[in-house]
Structure 1
């Protein structure tokens, strides 16, 4: 990985442990609203629905509001749990409010950021909601490592749309030839970056065997040292 000057990271599922922090946020939501459902049962239904809604969101097929409401509405309906639309909307708001209260990071986050910070300019490109991403980074004490933080909402489109990557490169005063993207989503992060001419490292933390063998991948953040 020669001539790299700029390293762009995804945030959720790459540095910030979204699954663990999200589970804890929902635990807090369920307690606040006295939801008489098994949290484990809810999360089992919710997670694949949330995954599908985020795919639709990246593809501009649902709005942010439809995602926030729909993933909850569909989950409660699947579990035959009677709940009002007003309460679903309140839960949607509370969930995002509570997310930054939890700040679990993947193993090696601080070590790899300290290592890279002395060698490269570091940036974030995230599809996550703008109102919570900065709070997550501040509460987990990683915000200061990054020069530019680019959210899809600030661009108006989501990764893997090339506009996001080109906007990020312009903002960072970087060039596609001296930049690399590191993320956990093959479509949004890796293919999106490669399609605009950037290099990429796939964070294959779950050892996804269906991933493209030609893509540089790591199974832990510390492995990035082998390439940068």
Structure 2
């Protein structure tokens, strides 16, 4: 490939390398089945609980919580069940729902063979770093589940740092780990507000947005250098960056 100008590539984990959204969908389906078959919840009730939990996850502020991530997420299930059925003694049911959700989701957090092969080939010529936001326990469990450690020179979890993406500090920390300059790096991820904005904030050479669903960004959204529908398009993008002509001043 001859990657002489790009010195390192940073990749996001969730919905970039692994399909976390699909894993979460499957996990929610299993919990819905449990609620209906074992506890006689109506279809509508089980669906409402699932939707409420997903909203609570999306609004989660794990850094501000005094609970462990396990207890915090059990509380999401407990609240969702109580709000739907107005029952009080549901903690054990909430625990059962959470652990079923978690174990099912982790079973489906996998790296495809195509992505593994791509990472192997890229790493022959350029250092790769995994940079993922989130609670330490949660993200480390996903990393272990998909067994992605062998494909990267370094792995950095936002929950283990003072700041997460899009703060420049975590990007500079990653650059120091690899001994590279921000202007020689490429950031690849599916989220404009964290992955792309973070790469821009840190002054990276390029940012690559994985837009699987053809989302039309809002006008105020950060603008990536490249947009692709799959991370498997990354080698071609790196070639384009590598051989881009240098303009004279």
Q: Tell me the residue number matched to 2:5.
A: 3
Q: TM-score w.r.t. structure 1 length?
A: 0.78
CA change 1:75–1:3 in 2 (3 A) is farther
Q: Tell me the residue number matched to 2:158.
A: 152
CA change 1:126–1:210 in 2 (3 A) is same
CA-CA distance at 1:160 after TM superposition: 1.6
**2:202 equivalent to 1:200:** no
**2:210 equivalent to 1:210:** no
**2-side partners of 1:119 and 1:130: how far apart?**
30
Bigger Cα Rg: 2
> For residues 1-228 of structure 1, what are the structure 2 equivalents within 5 Å?
3-26=5-28, 34=38, 36-37=40-41, 38=43, 40-53=47-60, 56=61, 65=69, 68-69=73-74, 71-80=76-85, 82=87, 84-85=90-91, 87-88=93-94, 91-92=97-98, 95-96=101-102, 99-105=105-111, 108-198=114-204, 199-210=206-217, 214-215=223-224, 216-228=226-238
CA-CA distance at 1:73 after TM superposition: 4.2
Greater Cα shift, 166-175 or 177-186? 166-175
Aligned residues: 224
**2-side partners of 1:16 and 1:35: how far apart?**
32
Gaps of 5+ in 2: 239-249
Give the CA RMSD over aligned residues: 3.2
CA-CA distance at 1:15 after TM superposition: 0.8
Q: TM-score w.r.t. structure 2 length?
A: 0.73
Q: Secondary structure at the match of 2:143?
A: helix
Alpha carbons 1:184, 1:202 under 8 Å: kept: yes
CA-CA distance at 1:123 after TM superposition: 0.9
Q: Secondary structure at the match of 1:7?
A: strand
1:50-87 superposed Cα distances (whole Å, 9 cap, x missing partner): 2233xx55xx6656648535543453345336353465
Q: Secondary structure at the match of 2:120?
A: helix
Gaps of 5+ in 1: none
Alpha carbons 1:99, 1:136 under 8 Å: kept: no
CA-CA distance at 1:126 after TM superposition: 0.9
**1-side partners of 2:111 and 2:209: how far apart?**
17
